[in-house]
Chains A and B, each alone.
Chain A
Amino acid sequence: DIQMTQSPSSLSASVGDRVTITCRASQNIRKYLNWYQQKPGEAPRLLIYGTSTLQSGVPSRFSGSGSGTDFTLTISSLQPEDFATYFCQQSYSTPPITFGQGTRLEIK
């Protein structure tokens, strides 16, 4: 199985900050990497697919980049509604599809 490792596991930031979350795959997954946002008590919501394509309705302050084994999710200017947990997910080598352990983004 491909292991997905996110860093940091948690992060404190302020409204207006630029934030970057990293996801590393245990082997080359080319660009088959997706990002999700999850708020407490809710299901995950797709933000970005194929490394860098924003899902419809997702604000443009979210962006994704990377390829191979190293990927990043960037939020250019944090808004109050962005405080949540973020997950990466690979689909290159399946089964199984695997997820990162999550990065919890908290208000400083």
Chain B
Amino acid sequence: QVQLQQWGAGLLKPSETLSLTCAVTGVSFSSHYWSWIRQSPGKGLEWIGEINHTGSTNYNPSLKSRVTMSVDTSTKQFSLNLSSVTAADMAVYYCARGRHIAVVTPIHWFDPWGQGTLVTVSS
């Protein structure tokens, strides 16, 4: 079955760059968009952005200036970089499978999700 396994640094200092990676197994990597979503007590669930196997991205406008997503099709992995982190970026970060690449309607859900990574920002 489809599985997403994520990893990355969980403790950062203010102004550092958050880096997370998610590995996909059990499904064609080129058939979907792949998303990052974060969850914090203050902001709830927040979609960060998505990427497909060609590297085409869509980002949340509120984070766009600090977000970079990348993809490695040879290893079926995709990554998130979020620069200049502050306490406001503390959250559990999830990777998730998104919409099928051929879908042209706005139908877009997330299934499955990775296990989550708690990111703490502290000096």
Give me the interface of A with B, judged by CB distance under 8 Å.
30, 32, 34, 36, 43-46, 49-50, 55, 87, 89, 91-102
Q: A32-B106, A34-B109, A44-B45 are in contact. Are A95 and B94 (CB under 8 A)?
A: no
Q: What is the minimal beta-carbon distance from B2 to any residue of chain A, in angstroms?
A: 12
A99–B27 alpha-carbon span in the complex (Å): 26
Give me the interface of B with A, judged by CB distance under 8 Å.
44-47, 49, 58-62, 94, 96, 99, 105-116
- A-B contacts, 11 listed (Cβ < 8 Å): A32-B108, A43-B96, A55-B111, A87-B44, A89-B109, A93-B106, A94-B106, A95-B59, A96-B60, A100-B44, A102-B44
Q: A91-B109, A99-B47 are in contact. List 19 more A-B contacts (CB 8 A).
A: A32-B105, A32-B107, A34-B109, A43-B114, A43-B115, A43-B116, A44-B110, A49-B107, A49-B109, A87-B44, A89-B45, A91-B106, A95-B47, A95-B58, A95-B59, A95-B60, A96-B60, A96-B62, A102-B44
- Count, A-B residue pairs, CB within 8 A: 67
Q: What is the minimal beta-carbon distance from A93 to any residue of chain B, in angstroms?
A: 8
Max chain A C-beta neighbours (<10 A), residue from B58, B99, B113? B113
Question: Can you name the residue of chain A whose Cβ is closest to the Cβ of B48?
Answer: A96
Asked if A46 and B111 sit within 8 Å, CB to CB, the answer is yes
Question: Can you name the residue of chain B whose Cβ is closest to the Cβ of A30?
Answer: B106
